[in-house]
Amino acid sequence: MRSLHQTLAITLAALLLLNSTTSVRACGPYFTEPIFVFENSPDLPFQEFTNGKIGIVLPTFGRKTLVIAYRYLNRGSFTSDKQTELTAALKGKAPEDDGTAVVKAWVKVRKEVLGDDQKLPEIYTERQHGQGYDFFPNCTKNAFEVATETLKDRVTRYGAEDKNVRTWLATQDTVFQNCSRGAQVPNELGAESAAWLRMDREYQIAAAHFYSLNFDEARARFEKIAADADSPWQEVAAYLVARTLVRQASLAGTEELQRAGYERAETYLQTLLGAGDDKSREVVAEVGPIDARG
């Protein structure tokens, strides 16, 4: 009987000891905390926000969210279809990054080709507006995405050690120097150069003019590329003609010039839309900013 008691006591003590051991977590501790305000996005559901109930707009919201709020604060609105699309867009990625991720991605792929010993060029994406005190985003996210993808593609096709690829990369560095200041335009290439490099160079020259704010020259060059059936940039060049018109209008010195510029851009975009090709559908997205000016 005594032995039974001893056995029970030992078993009970063992169970108590085992139960008192807390489970181990890999990370932590975690605490449940109340969230009173979303700092990076509007309140849920997003549909209410895109419908115009924008509530209190915080500067920490993502770019898409702020654009929607800006439209409503300027007494604008969105059609029902656009509201649905915007809600989907907000759900896609919120909050948005601050734009540095694409520049980092470009710097990374550039470094993979050139190695660590190359001094990295300083890239600022904003450019001073004339001689004033305000800046505007000159080289946008898409510019770095396209450059990154193009470099990867050229490296895959011709190899990282290929001298033309190196030339391409050095030229792209020159193009991006114009993002924040200056007007550095790469030289044209002669017929002795590889055809792919020549066509890429034409596009890089047009882009350099665009970022240097030489819009008339940029537009003429994009138009020429848009007419070149052999260029891999043909399709996108037509769209960039529109981008050039929009940018030129947005930076015009007077409201009158701006209005005239936007009208010209709108006419061009409508023509592109009428053409009905694949790229035109993408251009539809660009009509938004022109609507937004009113």
Give min distance, CB of 135 to other proteins, in A: 4
Complex with other proteins: residue 124 or 158, whichever CB lies closer:
124
* In the complex, least distance from residue 134 CB atom to other proteins, rounded to whole angstroms: 5
> At its nearest, how many Å lie between other proteins and the CB of residue 121?
14
> Which H helix or E strand runs over 127?
strand 126-128
Asked if 22 is part of the footprint of other proteins (rule: CB under 8 A), the reply reads: no
116 binds other proteins (CB under 8 A): no
Among 6, 7, 74, 100, binds other proteins (CB under 8 A): 100
d(CA 90, CA 124): 27
When binding is defined by CB under 8 A, the residue of 28, 132, 190, 253 that contacts other proteins is 132
Residue 92 as a binder of other proteins (CB under 8 A): the answer is no
- Residue 126 touches other proteins, criterion: CB under 8 A: yes
> Any contact of residue 136 with other proteins (CB under 8 A)?
yes
HEC assignment per residue over 101-114: HHHHHHHHHHHHHH
Binding piece for other proteins, criterion CB under 8 A, among 68-76, 128-136, 163-171, 252-260: 128-136
**C-alpha distances in angstroms, 152 versus 21, 60, 85, 208?**
53, 33, 32, 21
Contact 102, 144 (CB under 8 A): yes
> Which helix (H) or strand (E) segment is 71 a member of?
helix 63-73
Asked whether 25 and 33 are in contact (CB, 8 A), the reply is no
* 135 forms part of the interface with other proteins (CB under 8 A): yes
Q: Are 126 and 137 in contact (CB under 8 A)?
A: yes
Our finding on whether 192 is near other proteins (CB under 8 A) is: no
Measured N-to-C along each axis, helices 163-177 and 141-158 cross at an angle, to the nearest 10 degrees, of 170
The answer to whether the CB of 208 falls within 8 A of the CB of 175 is: yes
Give the separation between CA 106 and CA 144, rounded to whole angstroms: 6
**Are 188 and 205 a contacting pair, CB within 8 Å?**
yes
Task: With contacts defined by CB under 8 A, name the span among 45-53, 125-133, 222-230, 267-275 that binds other proteins.
Answer: 125-133
Structure tokens at 128: 């001073």
**Residue number, 253 or 274, with CB nearest to other proteins:** 253
Please choose, out of 6-14, 84-92, 130-138, 163-171, the segment that lies near other proteins by the rule CB under 8 A.
130-138
Smallest separation, CB 136 to other proteins (Å): 7
Under the criterion CB under 8 A, does residue 36 sit at the interface with other proteins?
no
**What does residue 126 show for φ and ψ, rounded to 5 degrees?**
-100, 145
Residues forming the site for other proteins (CB under 8 A): 98, 100, 124, 126, 128-129, 131-136
